[in-house]
């Protein structure tokens, strides 16, 4: 049986995807191939920049930019003759390695049978046979660490909860993915919900939990829909509920929706949210492993972490542990984005270098500009300048560089990115998302942002840099939860590696990248201007006047320093100062 | 059965400390005379961990810990002060100050503010950070307490007090991040919320963000108006708390000094709420006997002298109204007696009388216009209520050397009281006073021992049985509104299942400890302070010759001359009120 998978992730092109599905189905039927070919709406195929994507199995060839007119060709060449439609082929670099995303784009996420056909629930069966101690032992061998950001060893977390006495224990899957630009958890939940359920059930066996919760943000409707469908299927098949497989193990799963507060991804705030309270973090100790949801021992694992679990049980901890570095085992999914040619989700073995990710997988920087830095770890992370791109990816390795692994955001920055501006962006995110409970984060973040704004407007003083460090230190030390403790990181790391840029803003009142509008003026040089008028056409403020035969000029009073004229001028006539 | 307390050992600043397991680092440090500064922790409440000032280091841990909520553990080696910790604390405090107005000189908490004090202690001299303030208008819709969110430091004490201590749920945090503020849920006015004006929020607020509605100016104006005849009464709990404003040991009973003070302030008649407490007992005990012995009215009878409780009951237990004693609260009884009996006797135009009640309570400000029965004299029976905190400020403003005043007596006859009247100020006091008189009403004789020690003390709910010549009277005493649910649900369950009533008589006081822990009392109350204040009242009762309300000769006189007998038509008209169910939310 051949399969045509159509990539269906959250996003636009809804109608086009449907049309493609219908056309494929009808044409397959018209050619009498219904018995040999199945058309499936699948999840993530890892193609994000090429329009609609289709994968044909078992060949595994992926086509991008597929339109209705390509359908006959694909059926004729690939399905019937087993050849490729060369002009549509999307090349996959083999530096990637798929464990977490192993089923994404392969398995029909809405089909229980399909998941089972791909070794689904084999890990669970094995875990039921092995019993809790051996499961934890296997996890220890694997070296798997939490993929939510902190990197706490999963086996240890499970063992701690297992060791706490309690009449009832809970396991929670943290699907409140909130880092700007990150969507690996969404892709897993949408593309392979059963593997996360299976991982959660194995975790439940290990810690002795009888109830599980998926905490998924409400902005992920497709993920919620697919996870719910998968849960329903499990109940129907007797994989969830009482006395599963007659082993005496009973387990129930419910979904809880997050209402969009970033802080609810923090374990204790997440628990408060499930309890129906304001999403405020709580002091620890007590840790959730001892006193979590409704005061009961609770283990919380991230989606990506759980997606690894069934694989580990099935293939063995040792085999999993062979991938990666000494301290960081397995793979990590990154959401590669920013000024990179091929943006999208990449899953790579730990230990790969940042350079390999950006250049070999990502295809290098957009427009062949000079790369400046990579930001990892989202708003809790930091920037890593180019001189460290040969560092291997791992928890400790990134930390040493002043950033963190985080949940897997990876943003490529080029010479046009201003580090003060980047700091403002991330800090602004944390200020918006601060829950407001503790003073260091609530006021500290706002004060830091105020200072950064002053700097980017050319009103910064040299003492401000010291103030930034002082507030940052107070936030790191005195904030209650991880959000506040790490919020200053983007500022601190840019200050560390790009202090010169800050000094240029503060002392020279210049923004070297030309990003900070208040510090940049644009003017047109008479010598180079050809009078084409493009600049005047794109200017949103009507600040550019002139006519085609003569030279154009910018009225500085009207100019809002947006830089569009600079971008659009093909003759280098617009100068930025 | 004695439970074994596990002890944990460690070090604080190099000094060995041994404390019971579960003790916080903050409390463990106190054992070796180390005070770790904190802004948000209050002895009454759970730590909110909000301010971030109490951070300390534990050797071997790279993070700083919050001393207020982290348990001291075996082998811990805590450092409470080093250059890095102190600098971090100062920065955090500076951040908090950058989000706080600087109008301290004209703030109600000037000189009595925890934020001001810690800023002074830390020696903050610079305004290093940009002052960023949100312009949020104050909410004065309630007329009892004022919410001024721009002075709020988000410590969360008021919310814990409102939600967990009092189970009222009027206050919560709304919005988030820098915009976080205290408000009733849904951003409505306090007057539209379930707020019952108990004032525990204001008593626990470290700054001026929640403050009693200040009525001292009204009192000064009345006192300075030659046309007015100003009459004052002072509640039981005030006399044992006012001294805290002047350096007296907690619980010092300053009744007679207060009488002298009131005359210095210019009051023409000085009465005592304790007299009216005796009067309340006469009515309430009679009411209880009517219901208990003669079956006229439903049991259990529930006390109603606490206005926050009355408001709470009307909002949360509207179906229990018929159980409420219709007797007015003591200060309302005194108000109406002052404008009728006293005015007639002294031949004073009651329209000229201004009745001022000095109360431990913010809800009393609401009570004086609660329903039309509060105008039984033909005028508003009590004109102004001020709290203990307001009185302390008035004394300071008046320039009277309070500490040196010689004792004086109250004016008769509305100023003389029995021991039963004075214990009203402590939880269980009303019950005890009522039982003394009810026993007499039923049996015709006085108790040999008038002390009911079972109903005293700070247990949230106190249940006991009293033997009235062979008949068992089951009683319950609850204080702190969160403790009400247990008692009320028990009654409701019995009613529903047609089981024997768990209680015949219930006393409820809204504030923990009763009025001694009232929302208008001096700040920083703890259970220890509540105990000391209550002790001041029980000691007075113990020392008195007349301990039962019905034995108070002036009570006997007022019935003879004016009210006829308890529950007479006149008494009903002047001394009783009624209740109605009210919605939790007005909008």
Does the residue B305 lie in any domain?
yes
**Closest by Cβ to A438, choosing from B49, B128, B179:** B49
Give dist(CA A539, CA A524) in Å, integer: 13
- Which 3-state string (H, E, C) describes B436-489? HHHHHHHHCCCCCCCCCHHHCCCCCEEEEEEEECCEEEEEEEEECHHHHHHHHH
The verdict on A204 and A257 lying in the same domain is yes
Distance from CA of B281 to the nearest CA of A (A): 43
Does the residue A272 lie in any domain?
yes
The verdict on A71 and A188 lying in the same domain is no
The verdict on B76 and B110 lying in the same domain is no
Does the residue B335 lie in any domain?
yes
The verdict on A261 and A141 lying in the same domain is yes
Residues of B in contact with A440 (CB under 8 A): 52, 92, 95
The verdict on A222 and A260 lying in the same domain is yes
**Closest by Cβ to B180, choosing from A282, A283, A436:** A436
Domain endpoint, select from A508, A530, A548: A508
Does the residue A95 lie in any domain?
no
**Which residue of B22, B49, B126 is the best one to mutate when testing the A interface, meaning the one whose CB has the most A CBs within 10 A?**
B49
Domain endpoint, select from B194, B212, B230: B212
Active site members of B? 284, 287, 305, 325, 364, 367, 373, 515
Question: Residue A92 has what pLDDT?
Answer: 63
Q: Do B50 and A437 touch (CB under 8 A)?
A: yes
Number of domains in chain B: 3
Does the residue A345 lie in any domain?
yes
The verdict on A527 and A458 lying in the same domain is no
The verdict on A357 and A423 lying in the same domain is no
Q: Do B64 and A478 touch (CB under 8 A)?
A: yes
Q: Is the dihedral of CA A37, A41, A45, A50 positive or negative?
A: positive
**Does the pLDDT of residue B51 top 70, yes or no?**
yes
Q: How confident is the model at residue B1 (pLDDT cuts 50, 70, 90)?
A: very low
Rounded to 5°, the CA angle A252-A253-A258 comes to 150
User: Residue A488 belongs to a domain with what CATH number?
Assistant: 1.20.1440.230
Residue B7 CA from chain centroid, whole number: 36
Does the residue A148 lie in any domain?
yes
- The model's pLDDT over A47-69, given as tens digits with 9 standing for 90+, comes to 777 788 888 888 788 898 888 89
Does the residue A182 lie in any domain?
yes
Q: Is A434 on the interface with B (CB under 8 A)?
A: yes
Give dist(CA B487, CA B330) in Å, integer: 24
Does the residue B90 lie in any domain?
no
Query: Helix, strand, coil: what percent of chain B each, to 5?
Result: 40, 15, 45
Domain endpoint, select from B212, B239, B268: B212
**Closest by Cβ to B176, choosing from A435, A470, A477:** A435
Could you state, in chain order, the average pLDDT of each consecutive group of 10 residues for chain A (577 residues)? 82 81 90 87 74 84 88 88 85 80 91 94 94 95 91 95 94 93 92 96 96 95 96 95 92 94 93 93 90 95 96 94 92 93 91 92 87 92 93 92 89 93 95 95 97 95 96 96 93 95 94 88 88 90 84 90 88 87
Residues of A in contact with B52 (CB under 8 A): 438-440, 474, 478-480
Q: Across chain B, what does the average pLDDT equal?
A: 94
- The model's pLDDT over B360-408, given as tens digits with 9 standing for 90+, comes to 999 999 999 999 999 999 999 999 999 999 999 999 999 999 999 999 9
The alpha carbon torsion through B356, B358, B359, B364 (nearest 10 deg) reads 20
Q: Is A432 on the interface with B (CB under 8 A)?
A: yes
Does the residue A107 lie in any domain?
no
Question: Residue A511 has what pLDDT?
Answer: 92
Q: Do B47 and A434 touch (CB under 8 A)?
A: no
Q: Do A443 and B63 touch (CB under 8 A)?
A: no
User: Residue A253 belongs to a domain with what CATH number?
Assistant: 3.40.50.11540
The verdict on B254 and B164 lying in the same domain is no
Q: Do B178 and A436 touch (CB under 8 A)?
A: yes
**Which residue of B24, B25, B52, B54 is the best one to mutate when testing the A interface, meaning the one whose CB has the most A CBs within 10 A?**
B52
Share of chain B above pLDDT 90, in %: 92
The verdict on B426 and B344 lying in the same domain is yes
Q: How many residues does chain A have?
A: 577
The verdict on A144 and A237 lying in the same domain is yes
The verdict on A159 and A302 lying in the same domain is yes
Residues of A in contact with B92 (CB under 8 A): 439-440, 444, 474, 478
Q: Do B51 and A437 touch (CB under 8 A)?
A: no
Does the residue B87 lie in any domain?
no
Does the residue B583 lie in any domain?
no
Chain B CA closest to residue A482: B63
The verdict on B11 and B108 lying in the same domain is no
**Which residues lie closer than 8 Å to A288 by C-beta, 6 or more apart?**
A267, A268, A271, A297, A298, A299, A300
Does the residue B581 lie in any domain?
no
Size of interface A-B (CB pairs under 8 A): 109
Does the residue A554 lie in any domain?
yes
The verdict on B363 and B243 lying in the same domain is yes
Does the residue B1 lie in any domain?
no
Q: Is B236 helix (H, G, I), strand (E, B) or coil?
A: helix
Burial of B448 by CB count in 10 Å (0-12 exposed, 13-18 middle, 19+ buried)? exposed
Residues of B in contact with A471 (CB under 8 A): 91, 95, 129
Residue reference for tokens 């397991």? B21
Q: Do A438 and B51 touch (CB under 8 A)?
A: yes
The verdict on A445 and A525 lying in the same domain is no
Residues of B in contact with A445 (CB under 8 A): 177-178
User: Residue A569 belongs to a domain with what CATH number?
Assistant: 3.30.70.20
Question: Residue A34 has what pLDDT?
Answer: 86
The verdict on B337 and B434 lying in the same domain is yes
Q: Is A278 on the interface with B (CB under 8 A)?
A: yes
Q: Do A438 and B50 touch (CB under 8 A)?
A: yes
- Output the six-digit token pair for A134: 């051996």
Domain endpoint, select from B15, B46, B81: B81
What is the pLDDT averaged over residues B113-134? 94
How many CB atoms are closer than 10 A to CB B24?
A: 20
Does the residue A17 lie in any domain?
yes
Query: B269-272 and B181-183: which strand pairing?
Result: unpaired
The verdict on B71 and B138 lying in the same domain is no
User: Residue A404 belongs to a domain with what CATH number?
Assistant: 3.10.20.600
The verdict on B330 and B412 lying in the same domain is yes
**Which residue of A259, A282, A283 is the best one to mutate when testing the B interface, meaning the one whose CB has the most B CBs within 10 A?**
A283
User: Residue B513 belongs to a domain with what CATH number?
Assistant: 3.40.50.1780
Number of domains in chain A: 5
The verdict on B208 and B221 lying in the same domain is no
Chain A CA closest to residue B69: A283
Does the residue B481 lie in any domain?
yes
The verdict on B515 and B566 lying in the same domain is yes
User: Residue B16 belongs to a domain with what CATH number?
Assistant: 3.10.20.740
Q: Do A473 and B91 touch (CB under 8 A)?
A: yes
Residues of A in contact with B91 (CB under 8 A): 470-471, 473-474
Domain endpoint, select from A508, A537, A555: A508
Which domain does A385 fall in, by range? 331-414
User: Residue B116 belongs to a domain with what CATH number?
Assistant: 3.30.70.20
Residue reference for tokens 């104050």? B138
Q: Do A437 and B154 touch (CB under 8 A)?
A: yes
Residue reference for tokens 């811990």? B76
Query: B64-66 and B55-58: which strand pairing?
Result: antiparallel
- Interface residues of chain B, partner chain A, Cβ below 8 Å: 47-53, 55, 63-64, 66, 69-71, 84, 87-89, 91-92, 95-96, 98-99, 128-130, 132, 153-154, 156, 172-173, 175-180
Question: Residue B200 has what pLDDT?
Answer: 97
**Closest by Cβ to B173, choosing from A436, A447, A467:** A436
Residues of A in contact with B49 (CB under 8 A): 282-283, 437-438, 480
Residues of B in contact with A434 (CB under 8 A): 176-178
Q: What is the ipTM of this complex?
A: 0.89
**Closest by Cβ to B91, choosing from A438, A450, A470:** A470
- Output the six-digit token pair for A149: 């950001």
- Output the six-digit token pair for A345: 């989700």
Residues of A in contact with B48 (CB under 8 A): 437
Residues of A in contact with B47 (CB under 8 A): 283
Q: Is A283 on the interface with B (CB under 8 A)?
A: yes
**Closest by Cβ to B49, choosing from A446, A477, A480:** A480
Q: Do B178 and A442 touch (CB under 8 A)?
A: yes
The verdict on A141 and A219 lying in the same domain is yes
Question: Residue A322 has what pLDDT?
Answer: 92
Which domain does B121 fall in, by range? 104-212
Give dist(CA A379, CA A366) in Å, integer: 23
Q: Is A466 on the interface with B (CB under 8 A)?
A: no
**Closest by Cβ to B96, choosing from A432, A435, A443:** A443
Chain A CA closest to residue B178: A442
The verdict on B202 and B255 lying in the same domain is no
Residues of A in contact with B131 (CB under 8 A): none
The verdict on A197 and A338 lying in the same domain is no
The verdict on A530 and A489 lying in the same domain is no
Q: Do B95 and A443 touch (CB under 8 A)?
A: yes
Q: Is A447 on the interface with B (CB under 8 A)?
A: yes
Distances from the Cα of B40 to the Cα of A436, B48, B83, B531, B574, angstroms: 14, 7, 22, 23, 46
Rounded to 5°, the CA angle B481-B484-B490 comes to 170
Domain endpoint, select from A302, A321, A340: A321
**Closest by Cβ to B47, choosing from A283, A285, A437:** A283
**Closest by Cβ to B154, choosing from A436, A446, A474:** A436
Chain B CA closest to residue A443: B95
The verdict on B415 and B470 lying in the same domain is yes
């Amino acid at each position: 049986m051949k399969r045509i998978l159509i990539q269906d992730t959250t996003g636009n092109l809804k109608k086009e995807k449907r049309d493609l599905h219908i056309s494929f189905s009808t044409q397959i039927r018209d050619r009498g191939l219904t018995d040999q070919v199945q058309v499936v709406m699948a999840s993530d195929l890892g193609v994000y920049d090429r329009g609609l994507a289709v994968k044909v199995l078992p060949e595994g060839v992926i086509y991008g930019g597929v339109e209705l007119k390509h359908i006959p060709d694909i059926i004729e060449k690939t399905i019937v003759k087993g050849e490729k439609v060369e002009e549509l082929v999307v090349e996959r670099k083999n530096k990637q390695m798929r464990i977490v995303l192993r089923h994404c784009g392969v398995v029909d996420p809405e089909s229980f049978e399909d998941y089972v056909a791909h070794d689904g629930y084999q890990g669970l069966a094995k875990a039921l046979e092995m019993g809790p101690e051996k499961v934890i032992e296997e996890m220890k061998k694997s070296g798997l660490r939490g993929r939510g950001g902190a990197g706490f060893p999963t086996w240890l977390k499970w063992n701690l909860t297992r060791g706490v006495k309690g009449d009832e224990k809970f396991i929670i899957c943290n699907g409140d993915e909130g880092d700007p630009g990150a969507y690996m958890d969404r892709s897993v939940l949408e593309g392979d919900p059963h593997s996360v359920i299976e991982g959660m059930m194995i975790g439940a066996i290990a810690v002795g939990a009888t109830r599980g919760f998926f905490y998924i943000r409400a902005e992920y409707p497709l993920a919620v829909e697919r996870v719910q469908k998968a849960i329903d299927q499990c109940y129907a098949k007797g994989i969830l509920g009482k006395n599963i497989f007659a082993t005496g193990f009973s387990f129930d799963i419910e979904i809880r929706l997050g209402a969009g507060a970033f802080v609810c991804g923090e374990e204790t705030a997440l628990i408060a949210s499930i309890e129906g309270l304001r999403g405020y973090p709580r002091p620890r100790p007590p840790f959730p492993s001892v006193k979590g949801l409704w005061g009961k021992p609770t283990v919380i694992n991230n989606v990506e972490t759980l997606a690894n679990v069934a694989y580990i049980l099935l293939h063995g901890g040792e085999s999993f542990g062979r991938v990666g570095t000494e301290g960081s085992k397995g793979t990590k999914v990154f959401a590669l984005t920013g000024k990179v040619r091929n943006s999208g989700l990449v899953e790579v073995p730990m230990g790969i270098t940042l350079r390999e990710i950006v250049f070999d997988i990502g295809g290098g920087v957009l427009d062949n500009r000079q790369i400046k830095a990579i930001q990892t770890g989202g708003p809790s992370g930091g920037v890593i300048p180019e001189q460290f791109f040969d560092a291997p990816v791992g928890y400790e390795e990134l930390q040493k560089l002043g950033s963190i692994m985080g949940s897997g955001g990876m943003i490529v920055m080029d010479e046009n990115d201003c580090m003060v501006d980047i700091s403002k962006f991330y800090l602004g995110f944390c200020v918006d998302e601060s829950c407001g409970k503790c003073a260091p984060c609530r006021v500290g973040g706002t004060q830091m942002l105020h200072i950064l704004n002053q700097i980017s407007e050319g009103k910064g003083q040299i003492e401000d840099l010291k103030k930034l460090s002082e507030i940052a230190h107070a936030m790191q030390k005195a904030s209650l939860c991880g959000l506040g403790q790490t919020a200053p990181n983007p500022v601190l790391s840019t200050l560390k590696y790009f202090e010169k840029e800050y000094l240029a803003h503060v002392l020279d009142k210049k923004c070297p990248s030309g990003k900070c509008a208040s510090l940049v003026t644009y003017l047109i040089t008479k010598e180079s201007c050809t009078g084409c008028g493009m600049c005047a056409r794109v200017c949103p403020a009507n600040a550019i006047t002139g006519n085609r035969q003569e030279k154009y000029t910018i009225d500085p009073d009207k100019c809002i320093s947006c830089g569009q004229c600079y971008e659009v001028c093909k003759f280098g006539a617009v100068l930025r100062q | 059965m004695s439970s074994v307390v596990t002890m944990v050992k460690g070090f604080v600043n190099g000094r060995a400390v041994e404390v019971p397991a579960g003790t916080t680092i903050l409390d463990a440090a106190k054992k070796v005379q180390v005070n770790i500064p904190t802004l948000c922790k209050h002895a009454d409440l759970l730590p909110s961990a909000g301010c971030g000032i109490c951070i300390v280091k534990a050797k071997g841990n790279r993070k700083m810990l919050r001393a207020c909520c982290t348990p001291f553990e075996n082998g811990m080696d805590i450092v409470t002060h080093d250059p890095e910790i102190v600098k971090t604390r100062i920065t955090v405090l500076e951040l908090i100050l950058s989000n706080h107005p600087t109008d301290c000189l004209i703030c109600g908490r000037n000189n009595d503010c925890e934020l001001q004090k810690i800023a002074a202690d830390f020696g903050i001299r610079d305004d290093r950070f940009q002052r960023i303030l949100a312009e949020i208008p104050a909410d004065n819709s309630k007329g009892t307490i004022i919410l001024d969110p721009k002075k709020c430091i988000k410590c969360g004490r008021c919310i814990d007090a409102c939600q967990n201590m009092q189970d009222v749920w009027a206050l919560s945090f709304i919005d988030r991040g820098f915009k976080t503020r205290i408000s009733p849920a849904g951003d409505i006015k306090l007057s539209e919320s379930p707020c019952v004006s108990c004032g525990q929020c204001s008593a626990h607020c470290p700054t001026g963000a929640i403050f009693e509605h200040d009525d001292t100016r009204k009192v000064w104006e009345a006192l300075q108006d030659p046309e007015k005849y100003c009459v004052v009464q002072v509640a039981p709990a005030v006399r044992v708390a006012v001294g805290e404003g002047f350096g007296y040991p907690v619980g010092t009973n300053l009744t007679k000094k207060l009488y002298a003070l009131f005359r210095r302030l210019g009051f023409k008649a000085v009465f005592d709420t304790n007299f009216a407490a005796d009067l309340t007992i006469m009515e309430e005990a009679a009411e209880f006997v009517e219901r208990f012995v003669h079956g006229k009215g439903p049991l259990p009878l529930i006390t109603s002298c606490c206005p926050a409780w009355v408001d709470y009951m009307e909002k949360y237990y509207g179906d229990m109204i018929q159980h409420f004693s219709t007797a007015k609260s003591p200060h309302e009884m005194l108000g109406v007696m002052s404008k009728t009996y006293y005015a007639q006797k002294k031949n004073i135009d009651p329209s000229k009388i201004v009745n001022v009640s000095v109360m431990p309570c913010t809800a009393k400000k609401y009570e004086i216009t609660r329903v039309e029965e509060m105008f039984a004299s033909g005028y508003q029976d009590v004109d102004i209520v001020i709290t203990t905190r307001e009185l302390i400020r008035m004394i300071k403003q008046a320039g009277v050397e309070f500490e040196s005043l010689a004792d004086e007596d109250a004016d008769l006859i509305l100023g003389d009281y029995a021991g039963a009247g004075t214990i009203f100020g402590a939880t269980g006091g009303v019950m005890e006073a009522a039982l003394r008189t009810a026993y007499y009403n039923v049996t015709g004789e006085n108790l040999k021992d008038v002390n009911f020690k079972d109903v005293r003390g700070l247990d949230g709910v106190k249940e006991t049985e009293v033997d009235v010549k062979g008949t068992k009277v089951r009683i319950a005493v609850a204080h702190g509104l969160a403790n009400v649910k247990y008692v009320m649900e028990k009654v409701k369950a019995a009613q529903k299942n047609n089981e024997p009533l768990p209680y015949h008589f219930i006393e409820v006081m809204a504030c923990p400890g009763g009025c001694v822990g009232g929302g208008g009392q001096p700040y920083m109350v703890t259970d220890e302070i509540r105990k000391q204040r209550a002790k001041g009242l029980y000691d007075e009762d113990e020392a008195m010759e007349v301990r039962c309300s019905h034995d108070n000769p002036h009570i006997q006189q007022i019935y003879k001359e004016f009210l006829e007998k308890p529950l007479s038509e006149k008494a009903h008209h002047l001394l009783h009120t009624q209740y109605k169910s009210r919605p939790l939310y007005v909008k």
